[in-house]
Amino acid sequence: MESYLGKGAEIILPKGGLDEKLIQAKKGGRPLIIKLGFDPTAPDLHLGHAVVLKKLKEFQEAGHRIVVILGDFTAHIGDPTGKNKARPPLSKEKIEQNAQTYLAQLSKILDVTQIEVRYNSEWFDQMSLRDTIQLISSTTLAQILERNDFKQRYQGGIPVSMHELVYPILQGYDSVVIDSDVEIGGTDQLFNIQIGRYMQEVRQKVAQVALCMPLLKGIDGSDKMSKSQGNYIGLTEEPNTMYGKVMSIPDSLLLEYLDLTTNLPKEERQSLIHELEGGRNPMEIKKIIARNIVHQYHGEVAALAAEEFFYRQIQLRSVEVKDYSQFSAQSLGFLPSSVPLIDLIAAIEPERSRSQIRTLVKSGAVQINGGKIVDEHHHFSVSEEILLKVGKRGYYKLVP
Amino acid sequence: MESYLGKGAEIILPKGGLDEKLIQAKKGGRPLIIKLGFDPTAPDLHLGHAVVLKKLKEFQEAGHRIVVILGDFTAHIGDPTGKNKARPPLSKEKIEQNAQTYLAQLSKILDVTQIEVRYNSEWFDQMSLRDTIQLISSTTLAQILERNDFKQRYQGGIPVSMHELVYPILQGYDSVVIDSDVEIGGTDQLFNIQIGRYMQEVRQKVAQVALCMPLLKGIDGSDKMSKSQGNYIGLTEEPNTMYGKVMSIPDSLLLEYLDLTTNLPKEERQSLIHELEGGRNPMEIKKIIARNIVHQYHGEVAALAAEEFFYRQIQLRSVEVKDYSQFSAQSLGFLPSSVPLIDLIAAIEPERSRSQIRTLVKSGAVQINGGKIVDEHHHFSVSEEILLKVGKRGYYKLVP
């Protein structure tokens, strides 16, 4: 008999551990402490994060206590090897600013007035070399190399700096300090969460339960949603952009997005799936998803306005604009399942150089179905007619 | 044209580096800084250490400055995993006491009034977690796993605690702090010395030269001399024990001991080797070595007295003692090249239990050629008649 709080999780470790924790919390008349780690170098949250945050919301609504660990200690160090330009050390001011941005985004889903925020510099700033040696001595190299990324890099001859091996131990120690009962993250966080379990165990504490939510695919359908891949929908994006981006996802993602990004009741989702299997146009399901998502983050009025905007911009434009050229992805030599944006534009507007096209994309002057695409590496799938806008005057229809 | 200071070294890295350093020191009118690391958990020095110390003496006599790094910081931590009973944390008092014992032994070879002693707690006690991360970030996992022992343990599934990987980095950092020009150790120290070179290089300093002396084999001829193997001759052992132990070495070690443990002039050593090849009794060469070693550490009078004692005790005893039983190793079923002491005694004194024999050995009541053997795992070779004493009354001759 598993609690509803475990529903939707891809991994719960140990098996039955969540129910056990819930029973003990009830007996003790105390809330569970739910840990959520946050890296203050990356304050922009997207629909992928929201999958985890919505699970936290369920725990919060059931009366449990969310503790956000702000990893300011390591953010303040950055990457001391200097090899990684993406990770310069952040100043205290910048970390504080990112933390505020982060909390503002959290407030779209969670009640942030009920959240406890802890900066891990609180305990790590006090730590000496001697403490550090004591801390890391309880883990072995084999444990740390269980993280696939480390092992593969080591075996593949790609340098792994020694300090990188220490960071997961520090993250794990955060769980010890706050006496975490449950740590929630994506399945890609399982390794770190388990180090936390281990660090508690070696200190004779009851280990936290690992609860991992599935990873949402990005809007290009190729990989998990992430900012660095440019395939994301940010929680604070404009309603019209949000709506347009959802409309651009490949049909193959419909079921996953219905499940992980909407807040439609289960029965409604199931009946939509049923209709889809019965032959209902996927475009209509996509609209329902898009409207629901914009509704969640911007309210009902904005959702309806975004839908109207989408129709006006895209569907009406096909009538208004006279020189509306139509192309077929296949006859241009592309696989409809993965069309590279830059190459496509180069094919249909041969007068532009590739570097001009790249600049155009980065400046936000290219739209697919009304959603701006700023990633120059963007790939998308064409399963039905797609509307492409390039610069001020280029309106194109693209069919498979 | 290599300096005489490099003579006898098994490894000098980089090639020509020592001469380069010597030239620069001369130009700059300054002495070289020669680093010698010392682990204060193991203050007992033996003839194996002396090989390194005699090389240091040459540098000292040439006017260079010896800096002894006392690793009190890590000794004070011990092994925080608690798995290694042999490495409990040492108190400050015990570390200080071991340091004094160590210096007293060094004074048998070096002029300790001209040595600078640095405790590495001086810099490591000040270090924070943040400093530690900066420090270890310049090394990679692949570099640290070049140490065979780590790699083999990891690959063999034997736990390597994370803090163990950090210790060589700390040792290397010692070289940075004292601006070491040359670090001298046994060939088993090459890895640590190279980490020191690297730590200096990444800080834009001129890297120290690694000078590694050959490892002396233990008196049983099986492995390198070490206290834990019980196959050592301590620098402060009694003259009679020292002499007897040298007399117990297998003939196969004669050349090595002549080279690495005596201070006989090269010509004399070469003529002895010549005589040995010409058929001179190895026993006579052994006596020359034994007398020379005791002379070095206890003076000429003690050396002569030890020789006399050896004759009286051993050679005369074979006449005096009436019930002197003779055994042949082979007819007892042992290989003369490696006779296990405990098994031998069990064979010739069947009335004693094996655990009694072990206790006897550990208490120092067993002698081979007049030298006490306290290691219950001791193996020795029999190439000529050997005299064995067991307890108060057991006198035996053992032939191959």
Residue A352 pLDDT grade (very low, low, confident, very high; cuts 50, 70, 90): confident
pLDDT of residue A318: 53
Instruction: Please report, rounded to a whole number, the percentage of residues in chain B having pLDDT higher than 70.
Output: 96
Please say if the pLDDT value at position A320 is more than 60: no
Backbone φ/ψ region at A63: left (φ over 0), alpha (ψ -120 to 50), beta: left
- Write down the mean pLDDT value for chain A: 91
CA distance B41 to chain A (A): 18
Same domain? A76 vs A152: yes
Does residue A97 lie within any of the structural domains? yes
Residue A316 pLDDT grade (very low, low, confident, very high; cuts 50, 70, 90): low
Please say if the pLDDT value at position B378 is more than 80: yes
Please say if the pLDDT value at position B116 is more than 50: yes
Tell me the H-state helices in chain A. Answer: 17-28, 47-61, 72-77, 92-106, 121-124, 129-137, 141-144, 148-155, 162-178, 190-202, 239-247, 254-261, 266-277, 282-298, 300-310, 317-320, 341-348, 354-362
Residue B166 touches chain A, beta carbons under 8 Å: yes
Mutation test of the interface with chain A: which of B74, B84, B122, B130, choosing the one with the most A Cβ atoms within 10 A?
A: B130
Quote the strand ranges of B192-232, DSSP E.
209-213
Provide the CATH number for the domain around residue B354.
Answer: 3.10.290.10
Domain range enclosing A362: 325-399
Same domain? A193 vs A75: yes
Please say if the pLDDT value at position B316 is more than 70: no
Instruction: Please report, rounded to a whole number, the percentage of residues in chain B having pLDDT higher than 90.
Output: 68
- Complex ipTM, two decimals? 0.74
pLDDT of residue B326: 82
Same domain? A75 vs A120: yes
Q: In DSSP terms, which residues pair with B148 in a beta bridge? A: none
Please say if the pLDDT value at position B251 is more than 80: yes
**Residue B74 CB: number of other CB atoms within 10 A?**
24
pLDDT of residue B393: 77
B289 vs B293: CA distance, rounded Å: 6
Q: What's A179's DSSP letter?
A: T
Mean pLDDT of B47-65: 96
Question: Is A124 within 8 Å of B127 when comparing Cβ atoms?
Answer: no
Question: Is B137 within 8 Å of A162 when comparing Cβ atoms?
Answer: yes
Burial class (CB in 10 A: 0-12, 13-18, 19+), B187: middle
CB-nearest to B154 from A127, A142, A160 is A142
Integer angstrom CA distances of residue A149 from A156, A159, A212: 10, 11, 18
| Choice among A108-117, A305-314, B73-82, B363-372 with the minimum mean pLDDT | B73-82
Phi, psi of A102 (to 5 degrees): -65, -50
Residue type, A293: I
Cis? peptide before B14, omega within 30° of 0: yes
Q: What's B91's DSSP letter?
A: P
Integer angstrom CA distances of residue A377 from A186, A229, A338, A343: 25, 8, 11, 10
Provide the CATH number for the domain around residue B273.
Answer: 1.10.240.10
Note whether A216 and A224 are within 8 A (CB): yes
A32 vs A5: CA distance, rounded Å: 12
Please say if the pLDDT value at position A141 is more than 60: yes
A244 vs B169: CA distance, rounded Å: 53
Does residue B374 lie within any of the structural domains? yes
User: CA B351, B356, B361: angle at the middle one, nearest 5?
Assistant: 115
Same domain? A189 vs A269: no
Q: What's A369's DSSP letter?
A: T
pLDDT of residue B395: 84
* Nearest CA-CA partner of B161 in B72, B77, B71, B39: B77
Does residue A222 lie within any of the structural domains? no
Residue B387 pLDDT grade (very low, low, confident, very high; cuts 50, 70, 90): confident
Does residue A219 lie within any of the structural domains? no
What is the total count of domains within chain A?
3
Does residue B286 lie within any of the structural domains? yes
pLDDT of residue B315: 59
Does residue B219 lie within any of the structural domains? no
CB-nearest to B136 from A142, A159, A162 is A162
Question: Is B77 within 8 Å of A130 when comparing Cβ atoms?
Answer: yes
Q: What's B230's DSSP letter?
A: T
Same domain? A55 vs A170: yes
Same domain? B107 vs B184: yes
Tokens standing for B385? 């008649």
Does residue B206 lie within any of the structural domains? yes
Question: Is A137 within 8 Å of B79 when comparing Cβ atoms?
Answer: yes
Residue B331 CB contacts under 8 Å (≥ 6 apart), including other chains: none
A277 or A371: which leads in pLDDT = A277
Under 8 Å CB pairs connecting chains A and B tally to 116
Instruction: Please report, rounded to a whole number, the percentage of residues in chain A having pLDDT higher than 90.
Output: 68
pLDDT of residue B118: 97
pLDDT of residue A54: 96
Please identify, among A271, A293, A319, the residue that sits at the C-terminal boundary of a domain: A319
Please say if the pLDDT value at position B250 is more than 50: yes
Question: Is A162 within 8 Å of B131 when comparing Cβ atoms?
Answer: no
Buried b (16+ CB within 10 A) or exposed e, B365-381: bbbbbbbbbebbebbbb
Question: Is B165 within 8 Å of A141 when comparing Cβ atoms?
Answer: yes
Same domain? B249 vs B202: no
Phi, psi of A200 (to 5 degrees): -70, -45
Mean pLDDT of A53-82: 91
Side-chain half-sphere of B18: how many Cα atoms within 13 Å? 21
Note whether A388 and A371 are within 8 A (CB): no
Please identify, among A319, A346, A373, the residue that sits at the C-terminal boundary of a domain: A319
Same domain? A151 vs A25: yes
A208 or B365: which leads in pLDDT = A208
Same domain? B157 vs B123: yes
Question: Can you say whether the dihedral through the CA atoms of B347, B348, B354, B359 is positive or negative?
Answer: negative
Contact residues, chain B, for A149 at CB < 8 Å: none
Side-chain half-sphere of B132: how many Cα atoms within 13 Å? 29
Residue A132 touches chain B, beta carbons under 8 Å: yes
Same domain? B64 vs B119: yes
Provide the CATH number for the domain around residue A112.
Answer: 3.40.50.620
Same domain? B86 vs B201: yes
Interval A3-32: pLDDT, tens: 899 999 999 999 999 999 999 999 999 999
Residue A132 CB contacts under 8 Å (≥ 6 apart), including other chains: A166, B129, B132
Question: Can you say whether the dihedral through the CA atoms of A190, A191, A194, A200 is positive or negative?
Answer: negative
Note whether A208 and A178 are within 8 A (CB): no
Residue B138 touches chain A, beta carbons under 8 Å: yes
Interval B77-106: pLDDT, tens: 877 776 766 677 888 999 999 999 999 999
- Comparing alpha-carbon positions, the chain A residue that sits nearest to B79 is A137
pLDDT of residue B85: 65
Please identify, among A275, A302, A319, the residue that sits at the C-terminal boundary of a domain: A319
Same domain? B26 vs B165: yes
B255 vs B271: CA distance, rounded Å: 12
pLDDT of residue A321: 45
Note whether A289 and A307 are within 8 A (CB): no
Does residue B66 lie within any of the structural domains? yes
Mean pLDDT of A60-75: 95
- Termini Cα distance of chain A: 48
Interval B204-243: pLDDT, tens: 999 999 999 999 999 988 889 988 888 999 999 999 999 9
Mean pLDDT of A318-346: 78
**Residue B327 CB: number of other CB atoms within 10 A?**
18
| Choice among A52-61, B313-322, B332-341 with the minimum mean pLDDT | B313-322
Alpha-carbon dihedral B258, B264, B267, B272, rounded to 10 degrees? -40
pLDDT of residue A81: 75
Question: Is A128 within 8 Å of B133 when comparing Cβ atoms?
Answer: no
Question: Is A163 within 8 Å of B124 when comparing Cβ atoms?
Answer: no
Could you give the strand order of the β-sheet that contains B366-368, starting from the edge strand earlier in sequence?
Answer: B325-328, B394-399, B386-390, B366-368, B371-372
pLDDT of residue A322: 44
The pTM assigned to this predicted structure is 0.76
